[in-house]
Amino acid sequence: MQFFQQLSQIKTLNSKVLITIVMGTLSILLGSIVIIGWYTHELTLIQVLPQFVPMQYNTALGFILCGIGILTVLSHHFFISKAVSLAIIFIALLTLIQYIFRVDFGIDQLFMEHYIDLLTSQPGRMAPNTALCFVLTGLAIFIASHQWQGKYKLGTLELIGFFILSLSILALYGYILGAESAYGWSNLTRMAIHTAIGFIFLGVGIITYTWSMETMKIASIPMWIPAVIWLGGLLFDLALPLGVAAGIIYVPLIFCAIWFAQPYASFIFAAIGIFLTILGYFASAPLGENWMVLSNRTLSIFVLIVVSILVYFRRALEIELAGVRLKMEANNTALKRSNEELDNFAHIASHDLKEPLRAIHNHSQFLLEDYENELDEAGVKKLNRLIYLTNRMEKLISDLLYYSRLGREKLAVTETDLNLVISDIKNTMKDQLVSKNVRVKVAEPLPIITCDQVRITELFRNLISNAIKYNDNDEKVIEIGFEEMPENSNVSATRFYVKDNGIGISEEFHIDIFRIFRRLHGPKKYGEGTGSGLTFVKKIVEQHGGKIWCESIPGQGTTFYFTIEREASWNS
Ligand code: ADP
């Protein structure tokens, strides 16, 4: 009673579990009916038709045990299910040993004196294929009862389920089409027709059990598709006993593995295909030359193995790539978030620092104005220095604020004519260009690009003013140009350059100069600066999906190169 209550309380009572329960129950019913038949001498129950082989008493007992095994696995009575599975394996193995070693342990008629021995090699002995199916079923129940949670557990169970189902369908097919070799091996006892049906129950029960146990979705196609291909292939092979390379029909089955989470699914499908190909050979009476049929089947098996290996590697690679992609996406998101946090931090910090700084500045100013006469020369000098330093710090903080704003604000992308950008910069810097004797050569008509016009203008202005600032030549020459990156290069970008004939930068600083507040000179030399111009430039380039670097020969000049992606894919 408690057992049935537990069975009805199975948490994941879905259609697959229900089918498993029905299959287990049908197996018990079948075995019980046949046993009743043996006791009551009701031949229809034992044989179905008078010309058919009877279901042996041990076989009927086996079905009852298997049914109990399946139901106790579902209700988590693993002690019982394990004991039952061992009993089934024990009886079936002993039977097989009796066949192989031609011995008699007296188990065949232990419970029942057999009074029908039609198509039976030894009275009461179950058929060898029946015994094999029981060994497999017992094994499946044992594995299912075990706490072992290895990743191959469900795959193994499923494979066993398909083997049992294949053997039983083959036997049933033999009865329907009258092919005796399909349900009887050599001249040994045949498998009874209702035994075949019983194993269909058990095979289906085991398969639906494994499907119900899969906690995660293991395939992106419905599980019945490979099952239909498998069944269709088997029936096709049996219906056309031509001895052709019939195993090829199982190739689509292997391809189903592409939709499975585990790459080794291809091997499981290949094993099923190979098993069925071999079965098909024995089951169908081949027309034509026997050696040809045999070599055809061998060839099919070879093809199945090759296909399964190819599918396995493809799937394994796909899974690995997906893993790498996921990792990269996660890294990108984390990087983006940390960048945003940094920008926010810089914004808040610089914003809040400005206020006390302004107060220090104002107080120093008041102090100087009100007490200038009372202070000595050193005191006045120190106050002036304080005011200078607060001014400088204010500039640094403003730059930091601006830098964080660059990161926080979205780009305003438009079609931008760079010729207009450069002539605008030249106009605004006109006085400086004349007074410092600067010649700006725009090497070619510059292209029209998709970008944030304001930021790109700022980028060029920064590079041009540096080219003027860090230049000791009497005649300062600045060259601006571009070249399209070759179409076959892996980035579709335009490369720009700004070249000067200035003081140059020694190689060890080529990366350093892009760091914020990094300056290579003291404030007295080459004018005042905060060391953030190139950091802004770098950020703007990167926001446009590009890279920036420089080449330089100290004493001769520097060329800054940067790329801007053509497709504006960075904008998405
Ligand atoms: P700033 O000009 O305010 O110092 P930048 O970030 O623009 O800050 O430049 C960082 C440093 O890189 C400069 O201090 C300078 O030493 C060096 N630098 C930049 N542009 C050039 C150039 N065209 N030629 C030589 N040195 C340069």
Question: Ligand 1 centre from 165 Cα, in Å?
Answer: 78
pLDDT of residue 490: 60
Question: Ligand 1 centre from 507 Cα, in Å?
Answer: 13
Torsions phi, psi for 414 (to 5 deg): -145, 165
The secondary structure of residue 345, as a DSSP letter, is H
Pocket test for ligand 1, best of 478, 517, 519, 551 (most atoms within 8 A of CB): 519
Q: What is the mean pLDDT of residues 522-526?
A: 78
Distances (CA, A) of 202 to 64, 134, 145, 438: 11, 10, 16, 92
Q: What is the mean pLDDT of residues 355-366?
A: 92
119 C-beta closer than 6 A to ligand 1: no
Asked whether the predicted pLDDT for residue 243 surpasses 60, the reply is: no
pLDDT of residue 133: 95
Pocket test for ligand 1, best of 396, 466, 508 (most atoms within 8 A of CB): 466
Place of tokens 């290069």: 489
The pLDDT-based confidence of 291 (bands split at 50, 70, 90) is: confident
Question: Ligand 1 centre from 389 Cα, in Å?
Answer: 21
Return the bridge partners of 476, or none. Answer: 438
Asked whether the predicted pLDDT for residue 413 surpasses 50, the reply is: yes
- pLDDT tens digit sequence for 302-320: 888 988 998 898 888 888 8
Q: What is the mean pLDDT of residues 50-72?
A: 94
Asked whether the predicted pLDDT for residue 216 surpasses 50, the reply is: no
- pLDDT tens digit sequence for 423-436: 999 999 999 999 99
Q: Counting atoms of ligand 1 from 1, which one is nearest the CA of 516?
A: 6
Both structure tokens of 219 = 């395939």
Question: Ligand 1 centre from 491 Cα, in Å?
Answer: 28
- Contact 66/29 with Cβ under 8 angstroms? no
Average pLDDT, the chain: 86
Question: Ligand 1 centre from 509 Cα, in Å?
Answer: 10
Q: How far apart are the first and last CA of the chain?
A: 64
467 C-beta closer than 6 A to ligand 1: yes
Residue that wins the pLDDT comparison between 402 and 235:
402
